[in-house]
Amino acid sequence: MTPTATVTRFIELICLGRLEEAAELTAEDITYHNLPMPPVFGRADMAAVLGGVCQLADEVDWVVHHQAEVGTVVLNERTDRFRRGDHWYEIPVMGSFTLSNGLITRWSDYFDLAQFTERFEGFFAAQ
Amino acid sequence: MTPTATVTRFIELICLGRLEEAAELTAEDITYHNLPMPPVFGRADMAAVLGGVCQLADEVDWVVHHQAEVGTVVLNERTDRFRRGDHWYEIPVMGSFTLSNGLITRWSDYFDLAQFTERFEGFFAAQ
């Protein structure tokens, strides 16, 4: 798969709730960095952070508005959407992915943490 | 010029402090959106916001780590650096630019506003 195809499949699997298969597209030593927060190192910790949000959602829909590749890097502009009950929680994001040997070795997402906190009020509440 | 070449030149002109020439690469009705804040409409207002930061700096250096083009859209991952006196103020940013007829019609920058506010403490102070 090309870098773009790998990232596209990675996001598809996340949206399908198939997080274990998604994680298999990442390197064991992946660096996962939500820019407003400290980076997370390793596939297991990445999957835990990702799962901590996705597994609360009844439905996950990451809309990729634009995606482009340069060398081994894929950049995209997205709206990451999570449904819980009848409410969709949405955050605008840009992501940067570096690939090596067909696996994602670095995933950096850029967004505003205060906007996320405000828009996701209630999302993390027990139901 | 290709979309990529236009965005590259736009950033070069900003770094050279030639903001009027940079603005000439944007459409009169450009939408300029720093995602954590409301969007700004029109070339004049875009230039005012951009100038409000750049003109305080003794030196501007936006490092483009990765940049890729898809159709009429250019995506990049940057570190935007501004020197005032002997201190460099830096913020990690991803940008998305849409072009039409060779001009930038939409410029969206994704970053964390709290991180910007923290890292640029002192930058906006009178000297």
Q: Do A110 and B108 count as a contact with CB atoms less than 8 A apart?
A: no
Confidence band, pLDDT 50/70/90 cuts, at residue A126: confident
DSSP readout, chain B?
--HHHHHHHHHHHHHTT-HHHHHTTEEEEEEEEETTS--EESHHHHHHHHHHHHTT-SEEEEEEEEEEEETTEEEEEEEEEEEETTEEEEEEEEEEEEEETTEEEEEEEE--HHHHHHHTTTTTS--
Chain B residues with a Cβ under 8 Å from any Cβ in chain A: 35-36, 66-70, 73-77, 92-96, 108, 110-115
Looking at residue A10, what is its pLDDT? 98
Task: Answer whether A112 sits within 8 Å of B35, measured CB to CB.
Answer: yes
What are A44-71's pLDDT values in tens digits? 999 999 999 999 999 999 999 999 999 9
The residue in chain B having the minimum alpha-carbon distance to the alpha carbon of residue A91 is B35
Domains of chain A in start order, with CATH, are: 3-119 (3.10.450.50)
**How do strand B59-70 and strand B87-100 relate by DSSP bridges?**
unpaired
Task: Report chain B residues whose CB lies below 8 A from the CB of A92.
Answer: 35, 110
Look over chain A and give the mean of its residue pLDDT values, rounded to a whole number.
Answer: 97
pTM above 0.95, yes or no: yes
For each successive 10 residues of chain B (127 residues), what is the average pLDDT? Answer: 97 98 98 98 98 97 98 98 97 98 98 98 87
* Residue B31 confidence (pLDDT): 98
Nearest neighbour of A66 by CB, restricted to B75, B77, B115: B75
